[in-house]
Every structure is written in structure tokens, then in C-alpha cells.
Amino acid sequence: MTRAAQRSRILILDFGSQYTQLIARRIREQRVYCEIHPPTLTAREARALGAAGLVLSGGPASVLDAGAPQADAALFELGVPVLGVCYGLQLMAHQLGGQVERAARHEYGRAQFEAVGAHPLFAGVGGSAKLSVWMSHGDRVLRLPKDFEAIGHSTGAKTATNEGAAEFAAIAHRERPLLGLQFHPEVAHSEGGAQILRNFAREICGCEGDWTVEAFVAEAVEKVREQVGEGRAVCGLSGGVDSSVAAALVHRAMGERLHCIFVDNGLLRAGERAEVQRAFGEHLGIPLHTVDAAERFLQALRGVVDPEQKRRIIGHLFIEIFEEQAQQIGGAGGADFLVQGTLYPDVIESIPVRGPSATIKTHHNVGGLPERMRLALVEPLRELFKDEVRAAGRLLGVPEAIVSRHPFPGPGLAVRVLGEVTAERLEMLRGADAILIEELRRAGLYAEIWQAFAVLLPVGSVGVMGDARSYESCVALRCVQSVDAMTADWSRLPADLLELVSSRITNEVPGVNRVVYDITSKPPATIEWE
Ligand code: XMP
């Protein structure tokens, strides 16, 4: 058994809260490894996984609804600590014989929380002071199950949407380690939330706090070696963080038996190809096989305006080219493994927690390749969140320019040139995008933004330049804050900065006479325009 399999871990049962991933991140920040599982996880499975503690997340359902998701009742008998958060608290109360009622009004937003007694869950959390915490629930507990007691109350401002007080804002079993919080300790708005989760994970569950990036990398290298044996692997690099870090890690494990293929599809940002080549060739000493395929992609995209069709064409062509190259490189017998930079959020998304969700965009990856080429997947980053991948990348010596780079879609600039993708329009977009990024870096704001990019719109508009009428293209700037790309808000950039970027673009990028700033959140919009 590897060390990873023995490490103490907390399992989070996801009842569909938008904050479930945040719970996981907050627990990992306490250096405790944790995983998100579907709500159907059984006690037997939890035991087999070596759970040191369980968290029941919040969720949109009401425990009073027929068919509301339940937890396996045996989980409460496992003997490991269980923390219910919001819906999790109500579920615990409901399943263990308490009474939950539908509140007349929702309690949503800030409330004042006060711990009662000296429960270890609240050790080191603001003494007897009231904490400002974040509530977001409809139902509330009317009567506690047998042997439970309140360990905290809350009072909220009485408003039209707030009933005012919750007698059972925090609950605990008198003898067994069963705990519940009505508020969300995982959100940044909840004071003391990180300490509460630390108390739960480190003190109550007794986890050691040995989940560090250093330990992760050492174990991951060991695991890759175990998996690949004497085999050979190929990796498709995109220039993004995930594939670069995956490649660097696998290279550490198997050296030159890893072959990295970089397909320049002509849809990259300004200077990106040179940057990737420098990073791998010079910096990391990992040989990179670059394929110049820009012409093939442009040909295939000629006349195509539908975003999904663009994605399909790019995906198929990428697979075709990658396969050609991999067969050449692999030599006799070819490669046995395909390295992919799959991250934990992708893994969680594929867990059918919330039922089948509608496809909004078909995200391009190298799906399809493993079956076609009979390759087994090596996915060393499957357990990591993006910020953890960045930390691992730094540790592995991946240059900062790549590690801290904003996410970039697989189909590249093709989904940011709205309408037909041509060499001229790509060049226009590259120019505008480079100016935006340069100015954000100069202003010291690049790292604070989740994603920033320019989009070339398929509209012309009238302008006046040097006393003459112009009829030229319009560029939209998109800068968003996000934690996981599932939801996003537009970045409140300083007006002076926007003005500078706009002025530089219209002056320096031929063919653009208008710049607009996108002020839509996700939802209802998505981050990309296509
Ligand atoms: P949306 O536009 O759906 O994007 O809000 C969410 C995140 O995913 C990225 N994105 C993609 N990534 N292939 C990718 O690898 C794609 O086709 C694709 N489309 C969007 C987007 O940049 C954002 O980070």
C-alpha cells in the first residue's frame, strides 16, 4: 500500500451545494487531505476509504421533500466524527429523530453567531465575541434529536427575508462526535470559519495535517513509476498550466520515456509558442516535439461560424495530428500511456451527483484518443485543485509565466474570434489581447484576476479617425473573478486602466476602432463568448 492510501482523509458528501468545493479547499488549506463523494456513499465504502471524518454538505433540497437525498444512516454509527453543514445539519437532525420545519421565510445572508459553552469545534474562535457568519437556508430545526444539544445560537437582523433568530445554529451530540452548523463555515464571509474547519479536521477528527504539495509530488512521482513500469508515454502540451505541470511531474518519474508533443494549431496567443518551447527546452530540459499545424487548422475552419462546429473540427484534427506524431515518436510498438492534466474539479464534475446536467459547451480535450490508440491514461493531477497544481508546478520548476497563467480553452482563439476564423482576424485579436495582458501585468492586477482576454466581435461599427469615417471591428474585453470557473463575476477594473487599454488597442491594432467591456456575470453568461 502506498503512503497516499494510508493518509488520513476526510470525506465530503455532496448534497449539491454550490459551496461543496469550497469546503474541500478550506479543509485542504489545513493540510488535511479530503475528497468529495456522492451523497449515496455508504458507511462500508467510507470505512474502506479510511475516512477519519465526514462532512455532509449543504444542498438545494429540503429534507421535508419526498425524495430528498438522504445519507446512509449507518454513517452516523461509524464512530468517526460527522459534521453537517446547513442541509447536512438538517439532514442529521431529521434522520436521527429530530424535527425540521419549513421556515416561513428564508434566512439568507449575514447573521450573528454566538457559541454556547466551550465546544472544541469553536476553540480559538473569537472567544465569547459574536461572529458574523453566512447563512443560506429555508428550513430550520424545530426540535433536536435525542441526546443532542445546541452549542451555538444565531441572531440575524430581522428583515423582510430573515426570520431573525436560530436557536440551533450549531448542534452536537452529547457523547458521540456528531456535529452540525446551520451556517457555512467554508465561505470567506463567515468569521472564524477556517478555524472551525481546522478544529474539526485536525482536533476532532485527529488528522495530522501532512497534506503538503511536497508530499503530494513525491507520492505522485512514485505512483506514476508504479503505473508505467518500463512503458512509454506521450503527452499533448497546450501551453496551459495543467498539461505543463502534468508533463513536468511525469518527466520526473520516467525521464525520456515521456514524449511531449506540442501542436501549434495557429490558435495560440501572441508569443505563446516561443514561451512554451523556452520553458520546456531550456528551462525544464524536457525535449519537446513541436508540430506546425496552423495551416491545417485554418483550412479546416474556413467558412465555419458555429461555435460547436469549431470545437468539433478542432478536436478531431487535434486527435488526428497527435496520433500521427505519437506513432512516429513512439518508435516500434508506439507509446503505452497518455498523460493528461485532468484536475479534481473535472473529476468531481463527472460524478453524477446532481443528475445529468445539460451540456452548455462541449469542452475540448483529448477525449477519444485513449480508446483509439489503446493508451492507458496517466492523470497525476486528478486529486488537485488549480491552486494546488500551481504550487506543484512551482516546486517542479515550471516557469512562473506558465504556472500563473490564466486558464485558456483547448480550442484557443478560435472561440474568441467570433464568426469566421481567418489569419487576419486572429492577428487582430492577438494584438488586442497582448495589450490587455501587458497592461494588467504592469498594473499588478494580472494575478488577482481569474481570466482576462479579448474577444473579436463579428460586427463592424462606425468610427471617426483622423477626420475620416471608419467602419471597423469591435473588440470586447472580458476579465472575471472566479474560484472554479463554475460561477464568475466581472472584474471591477479601474476606469483609468480600461481607458488606457482601449486607447492603446484602437491606436495600435489596425482594423479595430471600438472597445467594449463585458460586465456580465456567469450565470447568466459564460466566461467565454462561444
Ligand atoms: P465557460 O465559457 O463555459 O468556461 O464559462 C469555463 C472555463 O472553461 C474554459 N473553457 C474551455 N476549456 N475547452 C477547454 O479546455 C473548451 O472548449 C472550453 N470552453 C471554455 C474557459 O476558458 C473557462 O476557464
Taken in order 525, 526, 527, 528, is the CA torsion positive or negative?
A: negative
Burial of 370 (0-12, 13-18, 19+ CB in 10 A): middle
Atom of ligand 1 nearest to the CA of 406: 24
Q: Write down the catalytic residue from 34, 173, 186, 406.
A: 186
| Nearest-angstrom CA–CA distance, 187 and 18 | 11
pLDDT in tens, 423-440: 999 999 999 999 999 999
Q: Which contiguous run of DSSP H or E holds residue 247? A: helix 241-254
Examine the pLDDT at 381 and tell me if it is beyond 90: yes
Cα-to-centroid distance, 363 and ligand 1 (Å) = 6
Q: What is the pLDDT of residues 77-119, one digit of tens each?
A: 999 999 999 999 999 999 999 999 987 667 777 889 999 988 9
Rounded Cα–Cα distance for residues 17 and 393 (Å): 30
Beta bridge pairs of residue 512? 473
> Closest by alpha carbon to 399, among 316, 275, 483, 496?
275
- Is 479 known to be catalytic? no
Cα of 176 to ligand 1 centre, how many Å? Answer: 45
- Taking the centre of ligand 1 as the mean of its atom positions, its distance from the CA of residue 267, in whole angstroms, is 15
Helix (H, G, I), strand (E, B) or coil at 265: coil
Helices (H) and strands (E) in the chain, counts: 16, 18
Per-residue model confidence as pLDDT tens digits over 177-186: 999 999 999 9
Q: Which of 363, 453, 530 to mutate to test the pocket of ligand 1 (most atoms within 8 A of CB)?
A: 363
The answer, yes or no, to whether residue 15 has pLDDT greater than 80, is: yes
Alpha-carbon distance of 203 to 283, in angstroms, equals 42
Q: Which atom in ligand 1 lies closest to the alpha carbon of residue 530?
A: 2
* 207 given a catalytic annotation: no
Beta strands at 9-13 and 51-56: parallel, antiparallel or unpaired:
parallel
Q: Report strand pairing: 233-237 vs 258-264.
A: parallel
Give, as one character, the DSSP assignment of residue 202. Answer: I
Which of the two residues, 482 and 502, has the higher pLDDT score? 502
Q: Could you say which DSSP state residue 212 is in?
A: -
Active site residue 184: yes
Which pTM was predicted? 0.81
Place of cell 492523470: 379
pLDDT tens, position by position, 122-133? 999 976 678 999
**C-alpha cell of 321?**
495530428
Grid cell digits, residue 289? 516535439
Which residues are near ligand 1 (CB < 6 Å)? Answer: 311, 360-361, 363-364, 407, 409-411, 451, 485, 522, 526-528
Say if residue 38 is preceded by a cis peptide, omega within 30 of 0. no
Q: Give, for ligand 1, the residue of 449, 527, 529, 530 to mutate: max count of ligand atoms closer than 8 Å to Cβ.
A: 527
Indicate the pLDDT class of residue 143, thresholds 50, 70 and 90. very high
3-state secondary structure of 487: coil
Sheet holding 33-37, edge to edge: 33-37, 9-13, 51-56, 82-85, 178-181, 165-173, 148-155, 99-115, 131-143
DSSP per position, 78-99: SSS-EEEETHHHHHHHHHTT-E
Q: Which of 73-82, 319-328, 503-512 has the lowest mean pLDDT?
A: 319-328
Residue 492 CA, ligand 1 centroid: distance in Å: 21
Environment class of 149 (CB within 10 Å of its CB; exposed 0-12, middle 13-18, buried 19+): middle
Strands 33-37, 82-85: pairing kind:
unpaired
Q: Choosing from 119, 184, 251, 406, which is the catalytic residue? A: 184
Render pLDDT for 149-161 as a digit per residue (tens, 0 to 9): 999 998 864 444 4
- State the distance from the centre of ligand 1 to the C-alpha of 205, rounded, in angstroms: 37
Among residues 221, 261, 220, 229, the alpha carbon closest in space to that of 376 is found at 229
Q: Residue 174: is it exposed, middle or buried by C-beta count within 10 angstroms (0-12/13-18/19+)?
A: exposed
State the pLDDT at residue 357.
Answer: 37
- Please, what's the largest Cα pairwise distance for the chain? 82
% the chain with pLDDT above 70: 91
Ligand 1 pocket: which of 361, 415, 481, 530 to mutate (most atoms within 8 A of CB)? 361
pLDDT of residue 395: 96
Mean pLDDT, all residues of the chain: 90
pLDDT at 26 over 60: yes
